[in-house]
Amino acid sequence: MSTSSFTTRRDFIKGSAAATGALVIGFTLPMTSRFSQAAAAATPGAGFAPNAFLRIAPNGQVTVVCGLSEMGQGVHMGIASLVAEELDADWKSVQLEQAPVDKAYNNPLFGMQATGGSTAIRGHYEPMRKAGAAAREMLVAAAATQWGVDAAACRTQDGRVLGPDGKSAGYGDLVAAASKLPVPQNPTLKDPKDFRILGKGLTRIDTPAKVNGSAGFGIDVKLPGLLTAVMVHAPVPGAKIVSVDDAAAKAIPGVKQVVQIPQGVAVLADGYWTALKGRDALVVKWDDGPLGSLSSEGISKLLTDATTRPGAVARNDGDVTVAVAKTVEAVYEAPYLAHACMEPMNCTAWVRAGEAEVWAPTQGPGPHLGIVAQLTGLPPEKVQVHTTYLGGGFGRRFAPDFVIASTLISKAAGVPVKLVYTREDDMRAWFYRPASVTRFTAGLDAAGNPVSLTARVASPALSIAAGFAKELPKGIDDTAIEGIGDMLYAFPNLRVEYARTEPGIPPWFWRSVGHSQNVYFIEAFIDELAAAAGRDPVEFRRALLSKQPRLRGVLDLAAQKSGWGSPLPKGMHRGVAITTCFGSFVAQVAEVSMAADGKPRVQRIVAAVDCGLTVNPDVIQRQVEGAVVYGLSAAMYGKITFKNGRVEQSNFTDYPMLRMDEMPRVEVHIVPSTEAPGGIGEPGLPAATPAVVNAIFAATGKRIRTLPI
Amino acid sequence: MISLSLNGKTVQLSATPDTPLLWALRDELGYTGTKFGCGIAACGACTVHVDGKATRACVTTIEAVAGKQVTTIEAMDSNRIGQALQAAWIRNDVPQCGYCQSGQIMSAAALLARNPKPNDADIDEAMRRNLCRCGTYNRIRAAIKDAAATLSA
């Protein structure tokens, strides 16, 4: 089944897009002069734009240009603060501009203009500081020349150059002279102990627009002559249209056009409501294709069976066949999950003669621009992608489906089109965190010390589904085993195997990716081993982490802050879990009570985080809080299931998430560090679920080996 | 034509009477601060006030609000409670992606209008039907209490 489903996946995007070759995720623009042209146009005369990331106007206004997508993670503020710090800007004079697509804005960790993988600060910490520092050196040089003094005698503060004898000039007054100077390639960066902006809590620059309704999300795009499109989407991946009866739809007043594209049929109208009524009046018959009989029971069996056979060897330390005194075995399973961003998928496209423009809440404006170019046959320089605010991303908005469909609809209809997914369309759009099954076998010696561990992981290969790889090196998909294959626990004998298993449902990136299920698996199983050994869960982990000071450091901090080992109020129970991912280290202790109906109630999460140097403590706190809620929503309620090839869930009624009255207290403790910054959008997620299920074990003696709870 | 009062001004709507208020606001009048989340009153992103009461605009037809007073997020900076909430939202840096926050503020404003000093249970009851995928609930709770404190000061 794996081969055919692989083909199906490729067809789903490639075929429906009528695009060529592999999914063009890796696309980047050739080096163009578009930015320099844009910068020149934006800063006529005396403006100063030493590089792609920064402009200073004659009035002193600093504009930081950010190629990353703001989806709630605070990246606009983060990028602006990196530039402003080294520029010694007056923070109040800094504004943020969303960049166009240009190679200059490629994410250094991806090689394309895209946001995800908790890479924003990790990838831009040095480049953005250098951008600010280069400008600062030029402004200082301009002032020193003007004053006839040595540049070394000048310093900068809050948007001004300060010289000897009380000399002072605002940056705005220096931009004309500075812009004539060469741009330093290796400017001197500050010692972090001299930071004045980084490391402090700053009010986010996107907050005011987000409390008065003025923030522009993709769904808010307005254009003259814009029509709204609502689609009938394929009910099953790979399904093909057999027939379309659009007579009833076309009879609805206000319906302007009905457009068929490979992905489905779109009804176009002046607004969403009429387009929806038209869509609901369409009669579309489909040939389900080979996946029409797919069921969740079948998928579960396929994955579980795969763990009974040897897989590709991802790691083999020592010899797991050594004799042991006690064997512990368990099988864990996680379901498919939807992202359920609050803003349903949407995209506005306007394909005109010789050019195309797209406005999208997208995590991948770079690759998506390449896709639009391919779909329209236009050269990339004739395509523009405007990135709006994103009403949530979580990996979902890296997928191109909404860009592809809106582009094809606009191309066919000849008008600007805003395609809006209904919530049900969004929930059933076939981009899911994959289901996964892992079988663990571990051995303890007579004293209860862990001796060996074998983990056999069965799940689809995301790297292939996403177009990142055509085949798996040595049969291993890194995202499928991350969190297990790279574990830091020092088992003397450790073997990790991967059984690529493709039930046919396209897997996609979901906040923290493979860690989202694998850390649950391994941390719940480690708890089982601790119990089998008769050891305390924190002590059992510490003993396996003697050479991992950062991971053990967060474990110790979370234990200390949560009062691990101290008595709890009656009815409260603790569980612990740890993770290392995206360059950061996180430990969480969950406090859980059990309601009379047996339902667990998460009361408190104590998180300890070591994400290297703190760029913004408030952002770290909020991202960890948010990741905990995202993880717990999945743990408590999240599952996408299939019957006859169709998704059974539809809306927030049957795909619930945590609500205000279920929200635990979340405490976030940050380890002071001078290490390079790690990621923070995702690392707060993986440990929340195992901490909770381990607390449920403490409460009930029952192991939770499948989700949702 | 259906007539109603929007943020204190009379507006005429040409959309069909069964059109949900959400889409008349967004598509006909260009008031895009009110958001579409689910279409079935399950998430609260579309919350507006109808005669002062928090109402889900995605399932409320314009026919049902003919002649009534409709208030949206765009008018929240022109009343005392709205101003206090917006200031508290900024002080507490509540939003992440921000998409649900119009609805959150509208639900919170209706709460404070009828209960100037809500306790945790009151806040849970008033806000539990407003979903936030970014997990800002604890910040929302703190901001509501913060706004309540400034209003009673």
In this complex, do B32 and A213 lie within 8 Å of one another by their Cβ atoms? yes
Q: What is the complex's ipTM, to 2 decimals?
A: 0.98
Query: What kind of fold does domain B76-152 have according to CATH?
Result: DNA polymerase; domain 1 (1.10.150)
Distance from CA of B57 to the nearest CA of A (A): 13
Predicted confidence at residue A181, as pLDDT, reads 92
Q: Which residues pair with A498 in a beta bridge?
A: A312, A457
d(Cα A301, Cα A299) in Å, to the nearest integer? 5
Predicted confidence at residue A52, as pLDDT, reads 87
In our burial notation (b when 16+ CB lie closer than 10 A, e otherwise), range A153-175 reads: ebebeebbbbbeeeeebbbbbbb
Predicted confidence at residue A50, as pLDDT, reads 81
Distance from CA of B46 to the nearest CA of A (A): 11
Predicted confidence at residue A438, as pLDDT, reads 98
Distance from CA of B153 to the nearest CA of A (A): 22
Give the start-to-end residue ranges of the domains of chain B.
2-74, 76-152
Do residues A17 and A300 touch, judged by C-beta distance below 8 A? no
Distances (CA, A) of B83 to A506, B112, B118: 46, 12, 18
Predicted confidence at residue A424, as pLDDT, reads 98
The stretch B64-74 carries a mean pLDDT of: 98
Q: Name which of B86, B98, B131 is nearest A206 (Cβ-Cβ).
A: B98
Predicted confidence at residue B47, as pLDDT, reads 98
In this complex, do B101 and A422 lie within 8 Å of one another by their Cβ atoms? no
Predicted confidence at residue A186, as pLDDT, reads 92
Contacts of B107 in chain A (CB under 8 A): none
Q: Which residues of chain A have pLDDT under 70?
A: 1-47
The amino acid sitting at B46 is C
Predicted confidence at residue A469, as pLDDT, reads 86
In this complex, do B89 and A206 lie within 8 Å of one another by their Cβ atoms? no
In this complex, do B27 and A342 lie within 8 Å of one another by their Cβ atoms? no
Predicted confidence at residue A39, as pLDDT, reads 39
The amino acid sitting at A41 is A
**CATH architecture under which domain B2-74 falls:** Roll (3.10)
pTM, to two decimals = 0.93
- Beta strands A417-420 and A493-500 are unpaired
In this complex, do B20 and A273 lie within 8 Å of one another by their Cβ atoms? yes
Peptide bond into A708 cis (omega under 30): yes
pLDDT tens digits, one per residue of A564-575: 999 999 999 999
Query: Which domains are present in chain A?
Result: 34-210 (3.30.365.10), 218-289+345-420 (3.30.365.10), 296-335+432-700 (3.30.365.10)
Closest residue in chain A to residue B21, using alpha carbons only: A273
Distance from CA of A334 to the nearest CA of B (A): 20
DSSP string, A465-482: HTTS-SS-GGG--HHHHT
Is residue B51's pLDDT more than 90? yes
Helices (H) and strands (E) in chain B, counts: 5, 5
